Amino acid sequence: MKVLHAVTLHSPTGAFGGPVRVALNLAKGLAARGHQPRLVALGDGFGTSPPDEVEGVPARLYQARRVLPVGFSGLTSPALLASAGRLVRDADLVHVHLARDLVTLPLALAALRARRPLVVQTHGMVAPSPRALAKVLDGLAVRRVLHGAGRLLHLTDHERRDLLEVAGPPGLDTAKLVRLVNGVPAQEPSAAPAGPPRILFAARLQERKRPRDFVAAAPEILRAHPDAEFVVAGPDEGELPQVRALVTELGLAHKVLFPGALSADQMLTELRRAHVYVLPSVDEPFPMSVLEAMAVGTPVVVTRSNGLAADVEKADAGRVVAGPDEIAPAVLALLDPATRGAASAAARHLTAEAFSMDAVVDTLLAAYAQAQEHVRATAPSEPGTDPGAVADPKAAADPPS
């Protein structure tokens, strides 16, 4: 089965964050089952020759152009828009990682026009909004996509409620709503990192991620571990000047490293080197960086509004904090070798049991088969044709080895 994964933007800095990582992980999982995934997205930062594959996944990247001054929503590509119909017709199923933008929305609408089975995954990016542009896009396109898709994938109950609210009347068929957790590839076990304590923050440097809370916790940690070092990694989205200013104010310039944006391989290397991974962000739906940290056995510190907080707490795979004042004590507890060892083992067990790619791909293929059936049930055939018969649903649910 040829599956087209559509995301908004791929760049060397990982500026668009988790949706790209999820799409790539799912594509690799599909390829391992004998399917043919392909990624389509805007590309930025590659010069005049964007790659034709990303981490081994075939890709078609179109040069990003800004047409509106509204973040990622203002990016598009005339060439991509002109090719949308052909791109979706070349696929047996279209999986759109939907945002309110000029990339994923046109591709989703093209899939509906072409009567291709459409699966939509929003990653929390389509939530009720009072912004004028959001209301316009909802009225013109988002509601049509939500009602027309064969299956809608959500991570949390909160995201499910958001989708129902944005879709508006007539209400969505709730049978189309499928929970799909983010999966993480299995990682080889490694020994506990040697050397001084190394505390890592690796995420986009934006206000919601709270990188300043991470830096503010450093002095208390240093009082107990004067040799500790701190890493603030990730592309800047407005917070870097304030973070650097706080580092200077606290006299931490010799203790805080700023390696910038990390590639996928660099991210895994940093996670393996870290004694503790800290993500102080608020209202974080389901962060891939936390899953990746736990997969390599690095204990995590997250806030209560993190979508993985309950899993971390129940498994004792790290610490869950109520606010920034609790970050330093949580890190200090995890720097105890025995405590860290137990949390590391628990983190690896949690990701292997609850968030394995095998289990996620099983759920995904079942959703694909249901989306294919939706096309057959809702799109009348011309005589002698069956527009929904793009792939055998039994083969989708039980693909060849």
What confidence tens digit (pLDDT) does each residue in 252-269 have?
999 999 999 998 889 999
Does residue 391 carry a pLDDT above 80?
no
The residue-averaged pLDDT of 378-399 equals 49
Does residue 216 carry a pLDDT above 70?
yes
Does residue 385 carry a pLDDT above 60?
no
Other beta carbons within 10 angstroms of residue 107's beta carbon come to 26
Q: Do domains 2-183+359-397 and 198-354 have the same CATH topology?
A: yes
First to last CA, the chain: 13
The band of 388, judged by pLDDT with boundaries at 50, 70 and 90, is: very low
pLDDT at 118: 98
DSSP state of 180: -
Which of 321, 312, 275, 320 is CA-nearest to residue 296?
275
The band of 206, judged by pLDDT with boundaries at 50, 70 and 90, is: very high
Place of tokens 């959001």: 134
Q: How far is CA 10 from CA 40, 46, 66, 259, 398, in A?
A: 9, 10, 15, 20, 31
Q: Domain 198-354 in CATH: superfamily?
A: Glycogen Phosphorylase B; (3.40.50.2000)
The number of CA neighbours under 13 Å toward the Cβ of 394 is: 0
pLDDT at 47: 80
The band of 398, judged by pLDDT with boundaries at 50, 70 and 90, is: very low
Helices marked H in 131-274 — which ranges? 132-137, 143-148, 157-167, 211-216, 218-224, 240-249, 264-273
The residue-averaged pLDDT of 129-137 equals 91
The band of 12, judged by pLDDT with boundaries at 50, 70 and 90, is: confident
Question: Among 96-105, 126-135, 187-196, 274-283, where is mean pLDDT lowest?
Answer: 187-196
The band of 45, judged by pLDDT with boundaries at 50, 70 and 90, is: confident
pLDDT at 234: 93
pLDDT at 186: 84
The residue-averaged pLDDT of 195-202 equals 96
Q: Domain 2-183+359-397 in CATH: superfamily?
A: Glycogen Phosphorylase B; (3.40.50.2000)
pLDDT at 381: 55
Q: In what order do the strands lie in the sheet with 118-121?
A: 53-54, 57-63, 36-43, 2-10, 93-97, 118-121, 151-154, 177-179
Does residue 170 carry a pLDDT above 50?
yes
Does residue 110 carry a pLDDT above 60?
yes
Stated pTM of the model: 0.78
Does residue 20 carry a pLDDT above 50?
yes
Does residue 71 carry a pLDDT above 80?
no
pLDDT at 379: 62
Give dist(CA 216, CA 252) in Å, integer.
Answer: 10
The residue-averaged pLDDT of 335-353 equals 96
pLDDT at 382: 56
CB 120 within 8 A of CB 146: yes
The residue-averaged pLDDT of 101-109 equals 96
Return the percentage of the chain with pLDDT > 70, whole number.
Answer: 94
pLDDT at 224: 97
Does residue 208 carry a pLDDT above 80?
yes
Return the percentage of the chain with pLDDT > 90, whole number.
Answer: 78
pLDDT digits (tens, 9 = 90+) for 75-91: 999 999 999 999 999 99
pLDDT at 348: 95
Give domain limits for the chain: 2-183+359-397, 198-354
